[in-house]
Structure 1
Amino acid sequence: MSETKSKAITLTVAGVDLAFSPNKTAFNALINEMTLTNKVAPMVTYLGRIVEADSKAALGKLLDDYPGVEMQLTEKINAIYSPHLEIEIKN
């Protein structure tokens, strides 16, 4: 599977800048790893896969300090990386 180069997404979270480089391989792995009873661990893994090296420590601290931040970050990053498309049905 080829991995396309994507532009880094920088977010400021609780006053801390974090840079992420999402890609199709990591995005697809997130979707494939989530189940009805397992959502948080795949999101943490996904963020770890796409975080830029210089943001890794800050991400770890945010994950430790703020319960649920992994869900908020994943939602925000994916809204930018994979925006909803307008799809029309034609008969």
Structure 2
Amino acid sequence: MSKENNITITVGDTDINFEPNVAAYNKYVNELMPANKVSPAINYLSRIVCADSKDALDKVIKLPGAALQIADAVNEQFAPQLEITVKK
């Protein structure tokens, strides 16, 4: 497991470790549809969760809105917003 991409999210008192990567992130973004956001988030988190955190994720992911909130938290660290300026 690479420490560089290791992100730990704490939900309540449970730590859940993720190891996001560009391929999984891009697949998640490509799967998002206007009427389908929860399933892609669950699939994405399942792809990037560390083996030692799989059971913890499985329990937390059942809470309403958890998948989207956790995916957002992971992605804020993995793919932060860029400051972009367009010059003419």
Aligned-partner SS, 2:61? helix
In the alignment, what sits opposite 2:87? 90
The equivalences for 1:1-91 within 5 A come to 6-64=4-62, 66-91=63-88
- Using structure 1 for the length normalisation, give the TM-score: 0.90
When the two chains are superposed, the root-mean-square deviation of aligned CA atoms in Å is: 1.2
Paired residues in the alignment total: 86
Higher relative contact order (CA 8 A, sep 6+): 2
How much does 1:6 deviate? 4.5
Aligned-partner SS, 1:78? helix
Point out where structure 2 has 5 or more consecutive residues left out of the alignment: none
Aligned-partner SS, 1:59? helix
Q: One-letter code of the match for 1:40?
A: V
**Percent identical across equivalent pairs?**
44
In the alignment, is the contact (CA less than 8 A) between 2:5 and 2:21 conserved in 1? no
In the alignment, is the contact (CA less than 8 A) between 2:41 and 2:71 conserved in 1? yes
> CA–CA distance in 2 between the matches of 1:82 and 1:27?
9
In the alignment, is the contact (CA less than 8 A) between 1:6 and 1:23 conserved in 2? no
How much does 1:25 deviate? 0.5
